[in-house]
Amino acid sequence: MSVCSSRHSLSSRLALTLFASLLPWLQAEASVLLAFPQAELEEERVRSSSSYRVMLSPIREVGSELRAENSVRLAVEGSGQLFRMAPGITRQDARRWYLEQLQNRGASILFQCSGRECGRSNVWANQVFDLSTLYGRDAQQEYLVAGFEDGEGGRWLVVLYTVTRGNQREYLWLEQLQLADDAVLPGLDGEGGRLAGPVIVPWEGSVSVSFEWGAESQRILDSMASDPNARIVIAGFSGLEPGETLEAATDRAERAANTMSDLLDRSGLSSSRHIVRAIGPLVRFSTPERPENRIEILVIRPPEGSSGNE
């Protein structure tokens, strides 16, 4: 009896040792992006669901109900990880680290927001992610969803949320979710990762056009368009105002698109790479993150082996 017990104990220890040795490999299988090295992993959760909800628009809470203009439910397998930035390191540093990896994988940005336009931080923390540590300042938060295909044809969704808490600590929540083969997600087009974007830029004005355009948007676009052979599509949209003709509305959209082209050219993204199109009010698709008066910027990478002159 003593011998059997000893053998059982030895077997258990061997099994635990084997599991411990395999754990990093199992965790790596659920992750495709390298972890930001200047942050501490505080918590990790398994994400396995046949109907996992991913937000693709700003959120709000009505009563106790979570509302979003655009969201999807998908069958996923993956992980969620909570990172705390090391002293002297900002959440923007970590965000850039992951954005660069996404760009290198040809990821498409499906939705992004920053600050108060995302909604209330406590709703993201408690209702979306179920993680109170992420409750921070509404003005100091960013949210991004991107998708890409890996080298074996698997499709991945990356959810990135960063926030600064009231105590000045900065956190990043990262979800890496592999989609089921039959999952349908608009924006993952199966074109080998050649399309990236859109970056959505609201605009206002008529004769003089102004944009909601900041350093973070510029960094994202620079990363998306880092291939010098990639083309940059700048599409101008506009609403049809009372008493306005279709031609006048389209002209406003064209002025906005040309102004954005000039801005990008001055920022270092040469106008020789631009394709400018005025859509005007011809496409009716308006949500809080896609207002009627907006610019949508897409980046089209060349096929492999191509010089980029499509």
Nearest to 209 by CA among 245, 263, 279: 263
pLDDT mean over 47-73? 86
Give all domains of the chain, ordered by start, each with its CATH number: 31-179 (no CATH), 195-300 (3.30.1330.60)
**Would you say the pTM of this structure is higher than 0.85?**
no
Q: Are the CB atoms for 100 and 223 separated by under 8 Å?
A: yes
Lowest mean pLDDT across 21-30, 104-113, 182-191, 248-257:
21-30
Helix (H) or strand (E) run with residue 195 in it: strand 195-204
Residue 282, pLDDT > 70, answer yes
Select the highest-mean-pLDDT range: 25-29, 76-80, 285-289. Answer: 76-80
pLDDT, position 206: 74
Lowest mean pLDDT across 17-21, 144-148, 301-305:
17-21
Concatenated DSSP letters for 250-275? Answer: HHHHHHHHHHHHHHHHHHT--GGGEE
Instruction: Work out the pLDDT band at 181, boundaries 50, 70, 90.
Output: confident
Instruction: Work out the pLDDT band at 19, boundaries 50, 70, 90.
Output: very low
pLDDT, position 170: 97
pLDDT per position as a tens digit, 196-248: 767 788 898 877 888 878 776 787 788 778 888 999 999 999 998 899 899 99
pLDDT, position 14: 45
Residue 270, pLDDT > 80, answer yes
% pLDDT > 70, the chain: 82
pLDDT, position 307: 55
pLDDT, position 253: 93
pLDDT mean over 36-60? 92
Residue 10, pLDDT > 60, answer no
Instruction: Work out the pLDDT band at 287, boundaries 50, 70, 90.
Output: low
Buried b (16+ CB within 10 A) or exposed e, 37-53: eebeeeeeeebeeeebe
- CA distances, 62 to each of 54, 132, 273, 282 (Å): 18, 19, 45, 33
Assigned token pair, 166? 């009231």
Q: Phi then psi for 223, rounded to 5 degrees?
A: -65, -45
Q: Are the CB atoms for 111 and 46 separated by under 8 Å?
A: no
Provide the CB-side half-sphere exposure for 195 (13 A, CA): 14
